[in-house]
Chains A and B, each alone.
Chain A
Amino acid sequence: MALTSSAPCHGCATSRDEALIQLGVSPGRFDHLVALGGNPNTGKSTVFNALTGLRQHTGNWPGKTVARAEGTYSYEELRFKLVDLPGTYSLQAGSPDEEVARDFVLFGQPDVTVVVVDATRLERNLNLVLQILEITDRAVVCLNLIDEARRHGIAVDERKLEAELGIPVVPTVARSGVGIPELREAIHRIATGQVSSRPYRIADYPPDVEGAVGQLVPVIRETFPELPNTRWVALRLLNKDERVEEAVRTGEIGQLATDASAVAVSLSTGRGGARTEPRRPGEPDASSHTEASIRTAGSLALAEGPTVEAAPGEPVLRKTAQLRWQLGPEFHDAVMGRFYDSAQGIADRVSAKGLRKAKFDLDRALDRVFTNRWMGFPVMLLMLAAVFWITIAGANAPSGLLATLLIDNLHPVLQGFGAAIALPGWLSGLLFDGVYLATAWVVAVMLPPMAIFFPLFTLLEDFGYLPRVAFNLDSLFRRAGAHGKQALTMCMGFGCNAAGVVSTRVIDSPRERLIAIITNNFSLCNGRWPTQILIATIFIGTLVPAHWAGLVSATAVVGVALLGVFAMFVASWFLSRTMLRGEATTFSLELPPYRPPRLLQTLYTSLIDRTLIVLWRAVVFAAPAGAVIWLVSNISVGGASLAEHFISWADPFGILLGLNGVILLAYVVAIPANEIVIPTVLMLTVLTSAALMGVGEGAGVMFELESAGDVGEMLRGAGWTTLTGANLMLFSLLHNPCSTTLYTIYKETGSARWTVVSALLPLIMGFALCFVVAQVWRLLA
């Protein structure tokens, strides 16, 4: 092994620290850094949780919209920091996920890389193990799900696998904690250098590849004499890997070599390397240009210009360019083929299948039902209806409770408190009637449904049902130029559009992901359901005899939701054929095996990762909106408040659209949250209507009335017609996303352009539809 070389260099550890800072890890607070890699659906996050417990936090990789989790644990009085890498099939850096994983293993130089392997799919998983072993020697295989393998009649000889791979292999059932202590021990032994590994390396590539590698390796050795994995670097260079090319050009790759030797030296002293030096400010993200290559598709940033001259790695790159002429265009295929061939060979030698004849294949039976030509869709509709029903029925009581507590009880208490400490009237109004009330409203309406909907959805996801939904619906979405998984992100949008936008990360094709992000707003989110139900009850339900009212207004609401789905398809079709025509596109959809979901873990993660984060963002946006609502109603210019000025100015335009000025102003000031649209509408209606003097709580104080009938009377008194109601329902569906969602779209796409498109597209559609409906209505009436 090349790790046993020369004296330590100056500042080596800090250079790794710099790399780590760029990768989002703060160095110095741990003794050993452990990376956790593996294929998707191998139970990697279960292993992660089993190792760290609740000492973890989640976030994003710097500059990427790839989720990351890191946690810590102690073993033998040493602190281990565990970083969860994204689940990938390979490290060829073809997607942001793969790039993140590869960069971390290569440049983050973890002391140990744990690869979680699904024992039931050994051959596929070993492919990734082999690719990781090309980069690092310091790896441990966690052979997970051995119980499942046993059930399927598959036996894996882990001793033999250990001998084949040359690194420790620990069989585990992470779900029940079996093998986790042994895994900790193995990590510890590798980290402290108690065992040395002799990892399996692929030797015999096709002759032309071997020839090119053989010629390139000496050149690399000459330039970077201490680099341990020259063959891998040669292969990556021949495979035109931009990140590795950059690292060679700048000499960064040589730095890795000296770092590695520094670690080797420090290992002999029994400590995990001198990593307590002060951190230095991180340099610009080195991986940003590779990322840009994925982002910019239509327009190309050519800022890099011609290659840097006299850079340390230039001879290597020149030789690479020369050698590439000798390789066929299917070079990449051949390399991948070798990985899979070797993986297959090893898997065949260490495992035996079909030891027990499976009596009943549950997965197959479930798939027969879920993807059946006749039963597939009914079962799906039933499942989704159940989820929605549980959400709506279950959220009612807690929502009412929260509203009573926060709005009916706590609000007067706060007002009284303001009066008691003699707060000026305007400050008390701004803080308690504006900021507090808006925030309280958002929390009361939003929290309970999300806290029920998201865990339910996650349970279906973990069980493995949701990928089947995407599978069944894909042909529908394909025709609109979208990905089947958009069905899932759309459903998520019914809970909350911001969460729906985040969930588009499951779509790994850039074009389809953008489509899903931009069109998510067409899913009627739970902030808009109450508006729809209230307005339908008042204006649609009253058109028919009382015993039909409930059914008719419910049908109207469902109709609006379905119209949203239709608009989503139209918009997807339009986008994929115009603005997004040039974006790159791929399709693949893994149907993971069905697994019983884990209730507690699901509750915890969906509460932390989805509900609380989205709620926090919504609150952050709602608070200032409350202030604005209070201010526009209370600041007077020339005898009338700002709100009244705007309303009388916007009224003609509103009437043209079949709406009115109050609704338009409500949608302007209530951008942050759809939940406060109705309270704002009511407050503004009272503000501008002389006939309604004395109703409500005063200027700038949002309120709701006890019964829908009272609201209806009040709105009709202010000149609302059935057309106003119908168009409000349409406009509530088709308008710009709330600012929480817009902010999330900006974060996810990193592009102001797509954020603007997401805001304007539904708004224009809404204006056009309301306008046409209003004119046709008036023509016929």
Chain B
Amino acid sequence: MHPAVALLVFALVCAALVVVLWPQKGVIARLSRFRRLEERVLIEDTLKHLYNCEYTGRRATEESLAGFLGMSQGPAVRLLSRLEALGFLRFEELEPILTKEGRTYALRVLRTHRLWERYLADRTGVDPVEWHAEADRREHTLTRDEAEGLASRLGHPLYDPHGDPIPTATGEIPPMTGQPLATLEEGAIARIVHLEDEPPELFQEIVAAGLGPGMRLRLLDTSLDAVYFEADGRDHRMSPAVASRITVEPIEQEIELPTDTLADLDEGEMGRVLGISPACQGPARRRLLDLGVVPGTEIRAEFMSTTGDPVAYRIRGALIALRRDQAALIGIAPAEAVTAPVDPQPGRGPAEATARRAVAGEA
């Protein structure tokens, strides 16, 4: 065979493999998405959509359903009548309303979805932006008993990683609380209770900003085109569209918010840990806690590596290297005692004790 021909054949084979195997856009990925159009998947997704509308007080229509499922209106109308025939919904003045059976079923799907999100957050390294899509795919694959098995393995979690409550096995779910971020008063402190994970583009921005449920923030300023706030020792600026996807609950009493993160320390500087960001979950968080990164710990940045990342920190006597993206998840305040060598009770002021309790136990 002529070498040029051989190379050409080789290139074609490679191209074919890429077309077949490419994630998300390849043939295999498309085929597996095609499978989603199975009836069970469609019914469950419809129930989920209707339930979401009911929970958030929006009106569900054929258009909204067609938009949600990415199909035209004709099939959406047929789908709704199919569900009516199954007894999952009834029409009141042309608005589809869930029946009791329909709501129970929808809650079960929602439970499986949020359990999977919890699983992805706690037990895997899947990127936060992909949790929702991955859970969407997996939520239809479990039987009821399997979902309960998953719940027990995860220790019967109460909230999904976006801060939403997971419906109980018997279908109970607390009502929605909190208010949109932009409605806070200036200077008010609040805790994030929910992050809307749809549409993914806006959620991506929230994730990129390092925000997560449970995180405390202080609103600094709002204007027509931006919302300014500080959270976990960093200042944020967000467009109102993104900020409207963040639901918060105001905190009444005054607590100490981190002024910096560990990543802001220069060589030789010292900081006092106020808490690990709730954006840090699962094994990564457990590891930091085991290393002694707990509220009240004083940490000194000792020296950088040759390339500047990671940085070696003195944590409770040991020299531990952490990467900058990890250090940026640890909220700190200025250290109180600047290395007093023989101090019977270093770093134990009453103010600090309050702060520590606030950060650790308040949630």
Interface residues of A (CB under 8 A from B): 39, 41, 89-90, 92, 94, 98, 120-124, 127, 206-209, 240, 242, 293, 297-298, 300, 302, 304-307, 321, 324-325, 328-330, 332-334, 336-337, 340-341, 344, 348-349, 352-355, 367-368, 371-373, 376-377, 471-472, 474-476, 478, 484, 509, 511, 578, 581-593, 656, 768, 771-772, 774-779
Given A293-B153, A332-B289, A589-B321, are A584 and B310 also a contact pair (CB < 8 Å)? no
The residue on B at minimum CB distance from A339 is: B294
Determine whether the beta carbon of A321 is less than 8 Å from that of B156.
Answer: yes
- Judge if B223 is at the interface, Cβ distance under 8 Å: no
Determine whether the beta carbon of B305 is less than 8 Å from that of A590.
Answer: no
**Which among A298, A348, A484 is the interface contact of B344 at CB below 8 angstroms?**
A348
Ranked nearest first, the 9 interchain pairs of A and B with the lowest CB-CB distance are: A240-B155, A354-B341, A121-B317, A376-B306, A328-B363, A337-B294, A589-B321, A775-B3, A206-B361
**Which among A89, A209, A353 is the interface contact of B342 at CB below 8 angstroms?**
A353
CA distance A265 to B317 in the complex (A): 42
Determine whether the beta carbon of B126 is less than 8 Å from that of A582.
Answer: yes
Determine whether the beta carbon of B125 is less than 8 Å from that of A583.
Answer: yes
- Judge if B123 is at the interface, Cβ distance under 8 Å: yes
| A328 partner residues in chain B, CB cutoff 8 A | 361-363
Determine whether the beta carbon of A336 is less than 8 Å from that of B290.
Answer: yes
What are the interface flags for B313-345 relative to A under an 8 Å C-beta threshold, 1 for contact and 0 otherwise? 001111111110010000000000000011111
Determine whether the beta carbon of B3 is less than 8 Å from that of A373.
Answer: no
User: Closest Cβ of chain B: how far from A664's Cβ, in Å?
Assistant: 18
What are the interface flags for B268-295 relative to A under an 8 Å C-beta threshold, 1 for contact and 0 otherwise? 0000000110100011101111111011
The residue on B at minimum CB distance from A468 is: B305
Determine whether the beta carbon of B303 is less than 8 Å from that of A776.
Answer: no
| B289 partner residues in chain A, CB cutoff 8 A | 90, 92, 332-333, 336
| A367 partner residues in chain B, CB cutoff 8 A | 302-303, 312
Q: Which residue, B159, B317, B320, has most C-beta atoms of chain A within 10 A?
A: B317
| B296 partner residues in chain A, CB cutoff 8 A | 337, 340-341
What are the interface flags for B97-135 relative to A under an 8 Å C-beta threshold, 1 for contact and 0 otherwise? 000000000000000000000011001111100000000
Can you list 5 A-B pairs, Cβ within 8 angstroms, ordered by A?
A89-B291, A123-B316, A124-B315, A582-B124, A775-B7
Determine whether the beta carbon of A371 is less than 8 Å from that of B304.
Answer: yes
| A334 partner residues in chain B, CB cutoff 8 A | 360-361
The residue on A at minimum CB distance from B119 is: A300
- Judge if B297 is at the interface, Cβ distance under 8 Å: yes
CA distance A535 to B307 in the complex (A): 37
CA distance A373 to B303 in the complex (A): 11
CA distance A297 to B342 in the complex (A): 48
Determine whether the beta carbon of B7 is less than 8 Å from that of A124.
Answer: no
Interface size of B by CB at 8 A reads: 77
**Which among A94, A120, A340 is the interface contact of B292 at CB below 8 angstroms?**
A340
Determine whether the beta carbon of A92 is less than 8 Å from that of B294.
Answer: no
CA distance A525 to B342 in the complex (A): 53
Interface residues of B in 148-165 (CB under 8 A from A): 148-150, 152-156, 158-159
Determine whether the beta carbon of B316 is less than 8 Å from that of A330.
Answer: no
User: Closest Cβ of chain A: how far from B8's Cβ, in Å?
Assistant: 10
CA distance A355 to B187 in the complex (A): 47
- Judge if B357 is at the interface, Cβ distance under 8 Å: yes
- Judge if B210 is at the interface, Cβ distance under 8 Å: no
Q: Which residue, B119, B294, B302, B343, has most C-beta atoms of chain A within 10 A?
A: B294
Determine whether the beta carbon of A94 is less than 8 Å from that of B310.
Answer: no
User: Closest Cβ of chain B: how far from A575's Cβ, in Å?
Assistant: 12
Given A371-B303, A584-B282, are A90 and B290 also a contact pair (CB < 8 Å)? yes
- Judge if B67 is at the interface, Cβ distance under 8 Å: no
| A98 partner residues in chain B, CB cutoff 8 A | 290
Given A124-B318, A298-B124, A337-B360, are A474 and B323 also a contact pair (CB < 8 Å)? yes
Determine whether the beta carbon of A581 is less than 8 Å from that of B126.
Answer: yes
CA distance A353 to B312 in the complex (A): 22
- Judge if B346 is at the interface, Cβ distance under 8 Å: yes
**Which among B3, B119, B123, B154 is the interface contact of A778 at CB below 8 angstroms?**
B3
- Judge if B218 is at the interface, Cβ distance under 8 Å: no
Determine whether the beta carbon of B125 is less than 8 Å from that of A511.
Answer: yes
Given A329-B363, A336-B289, 5 new contacts (CB under 8 A): A300-B153, A329-B278, A334-B360, A585-B125, A779-B7
User: Closest Cβ of chain B: how far from A225's Cβ, in Å?
Assistant: 26
CA distance A293 to B148 in the complex (A): 16
| B300 partner residues in chain A, CB cutoff 8 A | none
| A124 partner residues in chain B, CB cutoff 8 A | 292, 315-318
Q: Which residue, A94, A242, A471, has most C-beta atoms of chain B within 10 A?
A: A471
User: Closest Cβ of chain B: how far from A81's Cβ, in Å?
Assistant: 29
User: Closest Cβ of chain B: how far from A101's Cβ, in Å?
Assistant: 12
CA distance A372 to B123 in the complex (A): 37
Given A340-B292, A475-B307, are A591 and B156 also a contact pair (CB < 8 Å)? no
- Judge if B198 is at the interface, Cβ distance under 8 Å: no
- Judge if B208 is at the interface, Cβ distance under 8 Å: no
Determine whether the beta carbon of B149 is less than 8 Å from that of A304.
Answer: yes
CA distance A307 to B295 in the complex (A): 36
**Which among A94, A208, A300, A584 is the interface contact of B125 at CB below 8 angstroms?**
A584
Determine whether the beta carbon of A776 is less than 8 Å from that of B3.
Answer: yes
Given A472-B306, A587-B322, are A306 and B149 also a contact pair (CB < 8 Å)? yes
Determine whether the beta carbon of A578 is less than 8 Å from that of B152.
Answer: no
Determine whether the beta carbon of B360 is less than 8 Å from that of A206.
Answer: yes
- Judge if B214 is at the interface, Cβ distance under 8 Å: yes
Given A324-B158, A333-B294, are A371 and B150 also a contact pair (CB < 8 Å)? no
The residue on A at minimum CB distance from B363 is: A328
Determine whether the beta carbon of B306 is less than 8 Å from that of A333.
Answer: no
Determine whether the beta carbon of B361 is less than 8 Å from that of A242.
Answer: no
Determine whether the beta carbon of B125 is less than 8 Å from that of A475.
Answer: no
| B318 partner residues in chain A, CB cutoff 8 A | 39, 41, 121, 124, 590
**Which among A208, A302, A584 is the interface contact of B361 at CB below 8 angstroms?**
A208
| B297 partner residues in chain A, CB cutoff 8 A | 340
The residue on A at minimum CB distance from B321 is: A589
- Judge if B10 is at the interface, Cβ distance under 8 Å: yes
Given A371-B304, A472-B305, are A330 and B287 also a contact pair (CB < 8 Å)? no
**Which among B126, B156, B291 is the interface contact of A324 at CB below 8 angstroms?**
B156
CA distance A368 to B344 in the complex (A): 32
Determine whether the beta carbon of B357 is less than 8 Å from that of A206.
Answer: yes
**Which among A206, A348, A475 is the interface contact of B305 at CB below 8 angstroms?**
A475
| B284 partner residues in chain A, CB cutoff 8 A | 585-587
- Judge if B308 is at the interface, Cβ distance under 8 Å: yes
CA distance A89 to B309 in the complex (A): 24
The residue on B at minimum CB distance from A321 is: B156
Determine whether the beta carbon of A302 is less than 8 Å from that of B150.
Answer: yes
| B305 partner residues in chain A, CB cutoff 8 A | 371, 376, 471-472, 474-475
**Which among A293, A354, A578, A591 is the interface contact of B321 at CB below 8 angstroms?**
A591
Determine whether the beta carbon of B307 is less than 8 Å from that of A588.
Answer: no
CA distance A568 to B351 in the complex (A): 51
User: Closest Cβ of chain B: how far from A769's Cβ, in Å?
Assistant: 11
User: Closest Cβ of chain A: how far from B141's Cβ, in Å?
Assistant: 10
- Judge if B256 is at the interface, Cβ distance under 8 Å: no
**Which among A471, A509, A582 is the interface contact of B310 at CB below 8 angstroms?**
A471
Determine whether the beta carbon of B312 is less than 8 Å from that of A591.
Answer: yes
| A298 partner residues in chain B, CB cutoff 8 A | 124
CA distance A88 to B4 in the complex (A): 58
User: Closest Cβ of chain A: how far from B159's Cβ, in Å?
Assistant: 7
| B127 partner residues in chain A, CB cutoff 8 A | 581
Given A305-B145, A371-B303, are A586 and B4 also a contact pair (CB < 8 Å)? no
CA distance A583 to B282 in the complex (A): 12
| B304 partner residues in chain A, CB cutoff 8 A | 371
- Judge if B146 is at the interface, Cβ distance under 8 Å: yes
CA distance A305 to B145 in the complex (A): 6
User: Closest Cβ of chain B: how far from A510's Cβ, in Å?
Assistant: 8
| A330 partner residues in chain B, CB cutoff 8 A | 214, 275, 360-361, 363
Determine whether the beta carbon of A588 is less than 8 Å from that of B287.
Answer: yes
Determine whether the beta carbon of B286 is less than 8 Å from that of A92.
Answer: yes
CA distance A377 to B305 in the complex (A): 11
- Judge if B48 is at the interface, Cβ distance under 8 Å: no
| B321 partner residues in chain A, CB cutoff 8 A | 471, 474, 484, 588-591
